[in-house]
Amino acid sequence: MSRRLQIAIVGAGIGGLALSTLLTRAGNLVRVFDQFEAPKPIGSGLMLQQTGLAVLEQLGLRAEMDALGTPIERLWGLTTPAGRPVLDVRYQKWRPDVYGLGVQRGLVFDALLRAALDAGVELVTNAPVVTVRSAPPSFEIEGQGEIKGMDLIVLAHGARSNLTRKDRGVDLPYGALWATLPWPEDGPFDRTALEQRYFKASQMTGVMPSGRLSAESPETLTYFWSIRADQEQSWRNTPLEDWKAEAIKLWPETETLMPHFRSHDDLTFARYRHHTSKAPVEGPGLVRIGDAWHAASPQLGQGANMALLDAWALAQALQTQSDLSAAFGEYLRLRRMHVRLYQWMTWLFTPVYQGDSRILPWLRDWLAAPISKIWPAPPLLAAMVSGAIGAPLKRLGLSSR
Ligand SMILES: Cc1cc2nc3c(=O)[nH]c(=O)nc-3n(C[C@H](O)[C@H](O)[C@H](O)COP(=O)(O)OP(=O)(O)OC[C@H]3O[C@@H](n4cnc5c(N)ncnc54)[C@H](O)[C@@H]3O)c2cc1C
């Protein structure tokens, strides 16, 4: 667009910060509003895929991610006690140059925040947005009144916001307890793999290598333990030692990690949500990106990567189109198919690994696992985990290296 736009972004998470930098660098006037008192990331480790890394490269942040993250070559899951492999995805079966990157969320967040502030983005903290209107674009911050006069409002408020439409989507029955721990140097885990152990689909635990926060800080892993949301409180009321015994029974090698857990508060619970907004674009001046548009369980590890793709697509659309309406059309053209595909695939896969069904884990173990070893399943699964189904990078004029 030839004129300079006044843009407000609600949410300084992964998508909101990335978009704010791209739009400011393109000459627009951008303010980002977040409810937090001071900028901080929400959550634990993250797996970056080639999709998200391609956008981080455009932002000038990929070298830092590659230097501090841990390259992951394989997703590897076994059942307990049989030791039957039911998840074995190797990126190299699709393309030899492709990998996932295990990182701490704080690394991505800090890099995105620094880039935004360096670009000249204005970040407004302590700004919980309570209502939003699309025509004319305006919103209200709790206790601070209405903000008007923007050309465009971008909703980047994530999955668990007061602004999320509660009548759309569902809270999934399961979530997980997460913790970032030091990598045990002489420990039993594979530094090149995200490893999981399952009992049916009702118990699942995993370890993901998650790199360092800085060159000086220690190498880490992210530990997770799947748990039903309605059992979180009873888990808290049960002695921690009882849970540790259960966790060690599911994956004996994790015994080495257990001394890090001294209280229940050393693990953070995250409940998963699945929703796809029917109206990513609303009226003449409102658009959604990231989890505000499409949230899903992190089973396929795509959410942050998709938020970055959305940010890139919207920034490109605003730059290349002549008005907002054309830019919105272009944004949807660039992203809608990929979003639909991954929302659908994540919906399909999640209960196979986290759920109470008896049939799905049985089918997984005895049917899907053997089939997944037969060509063309190995390269297809690797492409799926990389976020590449639907060729999103090609659509966006980006390339993975
Ligand atoms: C446990 C867990 C593990 C995950 N692992 C992965 C992974 O390995 N790979 C991957 O790609 N994705 C993963 N995800 C998903 C990923 O974290 C999200 O998809 C991603 O963070 C979405 O980015 P976003 O910018 O849309 O929202 P967020 O990063 O959630 O940011 C939203 C921001 O909006 C702010 N906000 C909310 N409401 C308001 C309001 N009313 N007013 C002002 N500010 C507001 C919040 O404070 C927050 O800062 C995981 C998610 C979870 C929970």
Could you tell me which of 156, 113, 88 has the C-alpha nearest to residue 303?
Answer: 156
Residue 192 lies in a domain: no
Q: Using a 6 Å cutoff on CB, does residue 157 contact ligand 1?
A: yes
State both tokens at 394: 């090609």
Task: Tell me whether residue 308 is in a domain.
Answer: yes
Å from CA of 40 to ligand 1 middle: 11
In a 13 Å sphere around the CA of 343, the CA atoms on its Cβ side amount to 20
Q: Tell me if 72 sits within 8 A of 130, measured CB to CB.
A: no
What pLDDT shows up at residue 29? Answer: 98
CB contact at 8 A, 182 and 217: no
Task: For residue range 285-322, list pLDDT tens digits in order.
Answer: 999 999 999 999 988 999 999 999 999 999 999 999 99
Contacts of 96 (CB under 8 A, 6+ apart): none
- Count of domains for the chain: 1
124 falls within a domain = yes
Instruction: Give pLDDT tens digits for 229-269.
Output: 999 999 999 999 999 999 999 999 999 999 999 999 999 99
Please state the pTM of the whole predicted model: 0.97
3-state secondary structure 152-210: EEEECCCCCCCCCCCCCCEEEEEEEEEEEEECCCCCCCCCCEEEEEEECCCEEEEEEEE
First to last CA, the chain: 30
Is 261 a domain residue? no
Domain that holds residue 12: 6-71+105-168+274-356
pLDDT at 33 over 90: yes
Confidence bin at 112 (pLDDT 50/70/90): very high
Q: What number is the average pLDDT over the span 380-388? A: 96
Is 290 near ligand 1, meaning CB less than 6 Å away? yes
- Distance of alpha carbon 374 from the chain centroid: 29
Nearest CA residue ID for atom 17, ligand 1 = 304
Taking the CA atoms of residue 356, residue 359, residue 365 and residue 367 in that order, the dihedral angle to the nearest 10 degrees is: -150
Tell me how far apart the alpha carbons of residues 304 and 48 are, in angstroms, rounded to a whole number. Answer: 8
Pairing state between β 70-72 and 145-147: unpaired
Distance of CA 108 from the midpoint of ligand 1 (Å)? 12
Which of 277, 329, 274 minimizes the C-alpha distance to 302?
Answer: 274
Residues near 151 by Cβ (< 8 Å), separated by ≥ 6? Answer: 5, 6, 7, 137, 285, 324
User: Quick check: CB of 206 below 6 Å from ligand 1?
Assistant: no
Is 111 a domain residue? yes
Whole-angstrom distance, CA of residue 131 vs CA of residue 162 = 9
Cα(3) to centroid(ligand 1), Å: 31
**Ligand 1, residues 9, 17, 161: which to mutate, most atoms within 8 A of Cβ?**
161
CATH number at residue 321: 3.50.50.60
Separation of alpha carbons 378 and 363, rounded Å: 18
CA angle 244, 228, 357 (to 5 degrees): 110
Residue 40 lies in a domain: yes
User: pLDDT band at 326, cuts 50/70/90?
Assistant: very high
Q: What is the pLDDT of residues 333-364, one digit of tens each?
A: 999 999 999 999 999 988 888 878 888 888 88
The finding on whether 36 has its CB within 6 A of some atom of ligand 1 is yes
Atom of ligand 1 nearest to the CA of 141: 42
Considering Cα of 225, then 230, then 232, then 238, what sign does the dihedral take?
negative
Determine, yes or no, domain membership for 312. yes
Per residue in 165-185, pLDDT (tens digit) is 776 788 888 899 999 999 999
**What is the pLDDT at residue 304?**
97
**19-47 CB burial, b ≥16 within 10 A, e <16:** bbbbbbbbebbbbbbbbbeebebebbbbb
Contact 90, 55 (CB under 8 A): no
Ligand 1 pocket check for 291: Cβ under 6 Å: yes
Does residue 280 carry a pLDDT above 90? yes
Q: Per-residue pLDDT averaged across 53-67, rounded?
A: 98
Nearest CA residue ID for atom 35, ligand 1: 11
In a domain, 164, yes or no: yes
User: What's the pLDDT at 230?
Assistant: 95
Give percent of the chain above pLDDT 70.
99
Atom of ligand 1 nearest to the CA of 12: 49
Q: Report whether pLDDT(46) > 90.
A: yes
Which one-letter amino acid corresponds to residue 21? Answer: T
Q: Which residues are 139's β-sheet partners?
A: 132, 147
